Amino acid sequence: MATAKKAPAKTATAAKKAPATKAAAAPTKKRTPNAAFMKALTPSPALAAVVGSQPLPRTEIISKLWVYIKAHNLQDAANKRNINADAKLKELFGKPQVSMFELAGLIGKHVK
């Protein structure tokens, strides 16, 4: 009974060269910013207490909110994905603790 021979394994250098040729062949497209994210939105009075009352793009609102969270040490010590709300944030969130993934959805209700 004859055994089948296995094909020799590819070397690491051969595997690395193959994807590089595909990337060089395809032209890279520069990402254009989405106009909806850059539109200035007016925050509600509850949100204005945290980020300021001037109109800001949604991206800047989220950035300023994270600056506030980090400055007041509001991330949960055990699970950094959770944010513990202080008096100002409880008014925004409606509950004492939220996940960072809920943040953008909750903020959407407080901008016009």
Question: Is there a domain that residue 56 lies in?
Answer: yes
Specify if 93 maps to a domain.
Answer: yes
Residue 15 located in a structural domain:
no
pLDDT tens for 35-81 read 777 899 999 999 999 999 999 999 899 999 999 999 999 999 999 99
pTM here?
Answer: 0.67
Range of the structural domain that residue 91 is part of: 39-108
CATH number of domain containing 61 = 1.10.245.10
Asked if residue 104 belongs to a domain, the reply is yes
Better-scored residue on pLDDT, 7 or 16: 7
Q: How far apart are CA 111 and CA 47, in angstroms?
A: 8
* 63 falls within a domain: yes
Residue with tokens 């944010």: 83
pLDDT over 60 (residue 23)? no
Say how many domains are in the chain.
1
**Do the domain assignments include residue 12?**
no
What is the C-alpha to C-alpha distance for residues 111 and 65, in angstroms, rounded to an integer? 13
Please check whether residue 79 lies inside any domain of the structure.
yes
pLDDT beyond 60 at 22: no
